Amino acid sequence: MLAETAFVTPATPYHPGEEAAVPARSQIGLHAAKLGLQGGAFAVFALVLLIFALSSPIFLSPFNLGNILAQSAISGVLAIGLTVVIIAGGGNVVTGGIDLSLAANMGLSAAVYASLSQAGQPDAVAAGAALATGLVIGAVNAVAVTRFAIVPLLATLAVMNIVGGLELVLTQNTVIPAVTPLLETLSGAGPLGVPVLAYGLIGFALVTALAVQATPLGLRIQAVGSFPEAARASGLAVNRFVAGSFLFSGLSGGLAGIFSAAYLSGSTTGAGELLLPVVVTALLGPVFSRRLVPSITGTLLSALFVGVLINGFQLLNLSSTLVSGIQGLLILLVVSATTLLKRKEG
């Protein structure tokens, strides 16, 4: 009785410790490949750091490292917001979680902040309005995706157009300068001579990482994104988590808007240019995580990796335009590797 099922799967011993002693050869290969994929990203990061450190004397100076962090602050905050949407919506970029309106959101929020400051409003009002702008955009996305059931890719694409247009209307496609105490503090140097923006990025990443990776709420968000049926079976209201993730990414857009106003001393045009780099940064995040899944810390590392590349290329007087190619190649390599791995496992 029952022994016929032995043909379905090889029997797995009940003590995987024993099993590890005599795994099939192909299994070893798969594990090695997986480890390689996980470790490889860190190794590449370390190698890049090493090369830049050796070729440029100032690369490792605290000032420069702080600079990298500050430069990465805007795209980092956006990528982290996007990562939360991806975690809650699932890894399928078309039907799953994606927020294409993030970069435009940042542009509009920055413009709102700058215009209000210029109109003489105090920082608290301007900053509050910028964050509220982001939140409203997030709410529109949330309603479009969970109520109207528009696939996120299309919903956020349409919202991106509207938001980008509103920014143009507000700024008449001009730069709105803003000099306020808040912006001066943010763009100035903080403790240890490191820019305050750098602390901003680290702080935001830390709080988000704790919430997503160390709380029950975070665990549930992960469950909702990676296996909605399992989450539903555990009594979780999937749509609420998805809506919440869009609200959060909206808020990230608002925060990035304030950061960008600080970094550029006002609002500038062309925020939309940042969209695809941010998407790639978030999608590259999983290779910097232990389980090869989207994670906040992974995305932070991915953002810093891109920041380091841009900074290093500048120091070495190389064209930083190569960065985009490297990002593209990396993403294709990583995804090809995971796809081929999966095919072998399947």
Touching other proteins, residues 228-247 (CB under 8 A): 229-231, 233-236
Distance of alpha carbon 63 from alpha carbon 61, whole angstroms: 5
Residue 212 binds to other proteins (criterion: CB under 8 A):
no
Task: State in angstroms the smallest separation of the CB of 191 from other proteins.
Answer: 26
**Closer residue to other proteins (CB): 115 or 327:** 327
Q: How many residues bind other proteins (CB under 8 A)?
A: 85
10-49: contacts with other proteins (CB under 8 A): 10-12, 14-17
Q: Of 95, 179, 192, 193, which lies in the binding site for other proteins, with binding defined by CB under 8 A?
A: 95
User: Residue 161's closest CA among 248, 98, 78, 100?
Assistant: 100
Query: Among residues 66, 89, 97, 164, which is the contact residue for other proteins, using CB under 8 A?
Result: 164
CA 27 to chain centre: 32
Q: Which of 79, 209, 223, 296 binds other proteins (CB under 8 A)?
A: 223
Interhelix angle 275-284/322-345, nearest 10 degrees:
40
For the CB of residue 199, give the shortest distance to other proteins in the complex, in Å: 23
Tell me which stretch binds other proteins (CB under 8 A): 127-135, 155-163, 179-187, 190-198. Answer: 155-163
| For other proteins, the closer CB: 65 or 143 | 143
Which stretch in 66-74, 211-219, 258-266, 306-314 sits in contact with other proteins by CB under 8 A?
211-219
Site string for other proteins, 124-153 (x = CB under 8 A): --------------------x--xxxxx-x
CB of 67 to other proteins, least distance (A): 22
Q: Considering Cα of 78, then 83, then 86, then 91, what sign does the dihedral take?
A: positive
Q: How close are the terminal C-alpha atoms of the chain, in Å?
A: 28
Q: Based on the shown chain and the rule CB under 8 A, indicate whether residue 115 belongs to the binding site for other proteins.
A: no
Residue 292: helix, strand or coil by DSSP?
coil
Question: Interface residues for other proteins in 326-345 (CB under 8 A)?
Answer: 326-329, 331-332, 335-336, 339-340, 343
Instruction: Note whether 334 and 284 are within 8 A (CB).
Output: yes
- Report the nearest approach of other proteins to the CB of residue 156 (Å): 10
Task: Please say whether the beta carbons of 62 and 229 come within 8 A.
Answer: no
Which 248-307 positions form the footprint of other proteins (CB under 8 A)?
A: 276, 279-280, 283, 291, 293
Q: In terms of CB distance, is 49 or 154 closer to other proteins?
A: 154
- Complex with other proteins: residue 180 or 295, whichever CB lies closer: 295
Q: Is 317 in the site for other proteins (CB under 8 A)?
A: no
Residue 8 DSSP class: T
Nearest CB to other proteins, comparing residues 62 and 165: 165
25-54 in b/e form (b: 16+ CB < 10 A) is eeeeeeeebeeebbeebeeebeeeeeebee
DSSP 288-345: GSTTSS--HHHHHHHHHHHHHHHHHHHHTT--TTHHHHHHHHHHHHHHHHHHHHHHHH
d(Cα 301, Cα 32) in Å, to the nearest integer?
23
Angle at 153 between CA 147 and CA 158, to 5 degrees: 75
